[in-house]
Structure 1
C-alpha cells in the first residue's frame, strides 16, 4: 500500500497543512524542529546535523532532548558522514578558517542518546552528498561548502526510503539560510524534481489531494 512521506523543513509552513502532515505515514523533521506546531506535531524521524556547533548544541541541550518532537521520534538520522567531512577538513581550513569546528563529528553522541532512549540511529549514506553535489552542478551553484541537510535527506528518501507509488511531499523549505549552502541551486534542483513528478510541495491546495 502506498504511503505519504512528508519532509518538513524549518522554514515557513503554509497555513492549513498541519493536519495533512500529522496524518502522513512518515514525517521527517530536522534538528530543532522549529516548524512544529504550525507544521503539525507528528515526528517519526529527526534528521540531525551531526557535526560542528549545531550537533554540540543539540546534544548539550536538555530542552532539545525533552522536546515534544524529539520524545516521539522513533529514529534519528545523522545526515553528515564522518569520512566525507574528515576529508574536507584540510581544504576547509585553508578556504574557510572560521569554520574550524565544522567537521568535528558527534555521531557517537547521537548514537548514545538513541541507544539509551530505546530508539534507532542511521547514518545517511556518504554517496548521498556526492550525488547531490553532482546533480547541483547542473544548476550553476555559487561557491559553497556543503549542500543543506534538507536536500541530502530528500535525495536519501527518494533513493533509499520511498517505495514505488509512495508520495513524497515537502513543507517548510524556503531555500534560504546559512550563506555557505547553495540555496538558489537547491531550489532549482527541487523544482526539477517536482516538475518530474518525483516530489510535491505541500500547499493548502495540494494538502487535501489523494493520499
Structure 2
C-alpha cells in the first residue's frame, strides 16, 4: 500500500500546509522541531544532528527531551554516521580549526535516551552521506564541510524508506543557513528530484497527500 511521507525542515513553512503534513502516514522533523505549529503537529520521527554543539544542546538540558514533538516521536534518526565524522576530525583540524568540536560524537546519548523511553533509534548509513557527496558534485558546489542534515534525510528517505508508489513531500526547506553546507547545490539536487517525480514541495497549491492506507 502506498504511503505519504512528509519531511519537514526548520525553515519557513508556507501557510495552509499543516493539514497535509498531519495527514501524512509518516512525518519527520529535525532537532528542536521548530516546524511544529505552522507545519502541523504530528511527529513520528525526529532526525537529530548527533555531533557537535547541536547534539550537546539537545542532550544537555530538559527542554528538548520534554518538548511535545520529541515526546510524540516513536523513533529517532541520527543523521551523522560515527565513522564518517571520526575520519573527518584530523582533516578539519587543519582546514577549519574553528570547528574543533564539530566531530564530537553524542550518538550514545541519543541511544541511551531512546532506550530509556522505549523508542527506536537508527543511524543513517555512512554510504548515504558518501553517495550524496558524489551526487552533489554534479552541481558544482564550492568547498563545503558536509551536506545539511535535511538533505541527508531526504536522500535516505528516497533511497531506503520510501517504497514504490509512496509520495514524499517536503516543506520548510529554504536551502540557506550555515556557510559550510553547499546550499546552492542542494537546491539544485532537490529540484532535480522534484523534476524526476521522486519528490514534491508542499505549498498552498500542493497540499493533497496520498490517503492513508491506500
Scaled by the length of structure 2, the TM-score of the pair is: 0.97
In the aligned structure 2, how far is the partner of 1:82 from the partner of 1:167? 30
Q: Which runs of 5+ in 2 are unaligned?
A: none
Secondary structure, aligned partner of 1:143: coil
Q: CA deviation at 1:149?
A: 0.4
Q: CA deviation at 1:61?
A: 2.0
Match of 2:160 in 1: 160
In the aligned structure 1, how far is the partner of 2:163 from the partner of 2:208? 22
Secondary structure, aligned partner of 1:163: coil
Match of 1:5 in 2: 5
1:17 aligns with 2:17: yes
* C-alpha contact 2:20 2:209 (8 A) present in aligned 1: no
Secondary structure, aligned partner of 1:208: coil
Secondary structure, aligned partner of 1:7: strand
Residues 209 and 121 of structure 1: is their aligned pair in 2 closer, same or farther, counting only changes over 3 Å?
Answer: closer
Q: CA deviation at 1:35?
A: 1.3
Query: 1:77-107: per-residue Cα shift (whole Å, max 9, x none)?
Result: 0000000000001100000000000000000
Secondary structure, aligned partner of 1:132: helix
Secondary structure, aligned partner of 2:97: coil
1:59 aligns with 2:59: yes
Residues 209 and 163 of structure 1: is their aligned pair in 2 closer, same or farther, counting only changes over 3 Å?
Answer: closer
* C-alpha contact 2:170 2:199 (8 A) present in aligned 1: yes
Q: CA deviation at 1:204?
A: 1.2
Q: Which runs of 5+ in 1 are unaligned?
A: none
Match of 1:89 in 2: 89
Secondary structure, aligned partner of 1:21: helix
Match of 1:112 in 2: 112
Query: 1:152-205: per-residue Cα shift (whole Å, max 9, x none)?
Result: 101110111001000000000000111000000000000000000000001111
1:132 aligns with 2:111: no
In the aligned structure 2, how far is the partner of 1:159 from the partner of 1:140? 22
In the aligned structure 1, how far is the partner of 2:78 from the partner of 2:94? 26
Structure number with greater CO (CA < 8 Å, separation at least 6) is 2
Q: CA deviation at 1:132?
A: 0.5
Residues 210 and 81 of structure 1: is their aligned pair in 2 closer, same or farther, counting only changes over 3 Å?
Answer: closer
Which runs of structure 1 show a deviation greater than 6 angstroms over 4 or more consecutive aligned residues?
Answer: none
Scaled by the length of structure 1, the TM-score of the pair is: 0.99
Aligned-residue Cα RMSD (Å) equals 0.8
1:198 aligns with 2:198: yes
Match of 1:183 in 2: 183
Q: CA deviation at 1:142?
A: 1.1
